[in-house]
Amino acid sequence: AQSVTQPDIHITVSEGASLELRCNYSYGATPYLFWYVQSPGQGLQLLLKYFSGDTLVQGIKGFEAEFKRSQSSFNLRKPSVHWSDAAEYFCAVGQTGANNLFFGTGTRLTVIP
């Protein structure tokens, strides 16, 4: 069965510092991978997605993520965090032949000045 693990419940970084949010998945075949962001009181917005090809994918708002098959990971990164990046971040995985996504439990990002 598919599963998604986000081991960090809460991360605090200083504005301008780099960020890495971890995501590990469990799935037998090549997964389809997504990162979503949820600002307070809002719905989820897609940041980026990976289906195939180049394992480093670029997203909106300066985010990028790298797919590492050997580590079953899809970590989200940003070189310099802005205060507006404070939000909840969700990793999700899709499976071949289905339309469902499986979500991790989320990582809450706090940005301090």
- 40-59 residues in contact with another protein (CB under 8 A) are 41-46, 49, 51
Q: Which two tokens stand for residue 67?
A: 């797919």
Query: Minimum CB separation from another protein for residue 102, in Å?
Result: 8
Query: Minimum CB separation from another protein for residue 95, in Å?
Result: 6
> What does DSSP assign to residue 30?
P
- The CA distance from 26 to 102, in Å, is 11
Q: Does 77 bind another protein (CB under 8 A)?
A: no
How far CA 38 is from CA of 53, 68, 71, 86, 103, in Å, comes to: 27, 24, 26, 9, 13
93, 101 contact by CB (below 8 A): yes
Query: Minimum CB separation from another protein for residue 4, in Å?
Result: 9
- 23-42 residues in contact with another protein (CB under 8 A) are 32, 34, 36, 41-42
85, 61 contact by CB (below 8 A): yes
Q: Does 100 bind another protein (CB under 8 A)?
A: yes
- The binding site for another protein (CB under 8 A) comprises 32, 34, 36, 41-46, 49, 51, 90, 94-101, 103-106
